[in-house]
């Protein structure tokens, strides 16, 4: 990877439903695929962001066609199809396969656009993971890596000065928001991300067993692409070995899915691939996919756990206020940006185009 950018410092744009999109004056609307740019700024970083809109029939058709493709064909097809395409990776095996395939594709076809990578550095990764990042950068110098850290913190010491020690134990949902979700949204906004490759596979178990190849993340405003979703762990591992792709040394010690050191453990024989993540907890994913309901559940659990103790209740309220303030800021900035760009449009019956209504 030839270069690396770092960020520890708003929110991502939201994908608009097709019937709510405002096509430009010269844009046809029959295709079911639309791209638009915003002339306003969202926290100074989301101007001119492409927004992709797919109707349900179009999305279903694309998924049906891509089910017939091999992973590398899906990756190539997506590189041609989607603007502002990135890869999000924690350098797990599936992400490493994707990096290798991207490298091979761009080396063999100069017409393909480059796909840069996004890594969320929670500051709590294993030393072996950071070592792997360096080895991957050395082996794939053509892929640029963007590293995003928690807001205002470049080290564990700085993070714990802001939020205290052991936040991942005392307030796991709040930790996920600060260390993972907010940096991810900042990455999507700063880089103007429209679509991302992910490393999710159906065989990983949990909530992933029925995911499609293409899915729309309406909350974050992007299209997610899961090119290796139908591969097994053995297929991924075989590719890594056959193509001499660097991998995390922890995999040789019984780990199969590697995240933060405080919430990752080796997997026993017969367990799901991600069974070592958040072991003993009712949790299989780190992201707050529905941030309001997930955090509401967390607060309820905290209240039940604390049994009404005044000190614990006060701490829970402080945590709620902290996250609520962050979420309100995100929503406020989005609404302000939308208001600035809002125009009253009508559809011309004769041409089918959208035109501005005169005052």
Give Cβ neighbours of residue 240 (< 8 Å, ≥ 6 apart).
93, 96, 97, 247
Q: Which of 262, 260, 6, 263 is nearest to 149 (CA)?
A: 6
Distance of alpha carbon 45 from alpha carbon 181, whole angstroms: 17
Distance of alpha carbon 313 from alpha carbon 124, whole angstroms: 27
Q: Which of 79, 216, 286, 337 is catalytic?
A: 286
Quick check: 39 and 47 in contact, CB under 8 A?
yes
DSSP state of 335: H
Q: How far is CA 118 from CA 155, 180, 186, 233, 353, in A?
A: 19, 12, 11, 23, 37
- Give the angle subtended at the CA of 161 by the CAs of 156 and 164, to the nearest 5°: 90
**354 by DSSP, 3-state: which?**
strand
- Give the angle subtended at the CA of 231 by the CAs of 229 and 232, to the nearest 5°: 120
- Give the angle subtended at the CA of 337 by the CAs of 331 and 341, to the nearest 5°: 145
Residues β-bridged to residue 195: 85, 223
Main-chain phi, psi angles of 24, to 5 degrees: -70, 170
The DSSP line for 33-58 is: EEEE---S-STTS-TT--EEEE-HHH
The DSSP line for 257-305 is: S--BGGGB-PPPTTS-TTTTBSTTSS-S--S-TTHHHHHHHHHHHHHHH
Known catalytic residue at 286? yes
DSSP state of 121: -
Catalytic residue ranges: 286
């Amino acid at each position: 990877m030839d270069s690396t950018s770092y960020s520890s410092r708003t929110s991502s744009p939201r994908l608009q439903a097709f019937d709510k999109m405002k096509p430009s004056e010269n844009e046809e609307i029959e295709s079911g695929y639309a791209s638009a740019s915003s002339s306003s700024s969202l926290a100074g970083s989301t101007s001119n962001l492409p927004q992709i809109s797919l109707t349900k029939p179009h999305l279903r058709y694309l998924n049906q066609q891509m089910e017939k493709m091999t992973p590398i064909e899906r990756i190539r097809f997506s590189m041609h199809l989607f603007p502002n395409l990135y890869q999000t990776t924690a350098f797990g095996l599936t992400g490493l396969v994707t990096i290798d395939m991207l490298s091979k594709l761009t080396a063999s076809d100069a017409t393909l656009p480059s796909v840069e990578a996004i890594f969320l550095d929670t500051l709590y990764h294993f030393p072996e993971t950071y070592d792997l990042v360096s080895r991957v950068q050395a082996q794939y110098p053509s892929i640029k890596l963007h590293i995003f850290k928690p807001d205002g913190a470049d080290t564990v010491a700085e993070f714990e000065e802001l939020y205290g020690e052991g936040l991942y134990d005392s307030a796991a949902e709040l930790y996920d928001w600060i260390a993972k979700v907010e940096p991810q949204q900042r990455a999507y906004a700063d880089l103007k991300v429209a679509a991302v490759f992910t490393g999710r596979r159906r065989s990983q178990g949990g909530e992933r067993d029925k995911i499609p190849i293409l899915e729309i993340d309406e909350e974050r405003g992007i299209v997610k692409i899961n090119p290796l979703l139908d591969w097994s762990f053995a297929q991924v591992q075989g590719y890594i070995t056959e193509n001499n792709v660097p991998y995390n040394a922890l995999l040789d010690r019984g780990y199969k899915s590697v995240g933060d050191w405080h919430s990752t453990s080796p997997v026993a024989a017969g367990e799901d691939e991600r069974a070592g993540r958040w072991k003993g907890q009712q949790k299989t994913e780190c992201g707050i996919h529905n941030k309001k309901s997930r955090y509401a559940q967390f607060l309820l659990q905290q209240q039940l756990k604390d049994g009404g103790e005044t000190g614990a209740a006060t701490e829970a309220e402080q945590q709620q206020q902290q996250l609520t303030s962050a979420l309100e800021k995100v929503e406020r900035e989005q609404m302000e940006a939308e208001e600035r760009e809002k125009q009253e449009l009508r559809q011309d019956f004769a041409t089918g185009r959208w035109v501005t209504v005169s005052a």
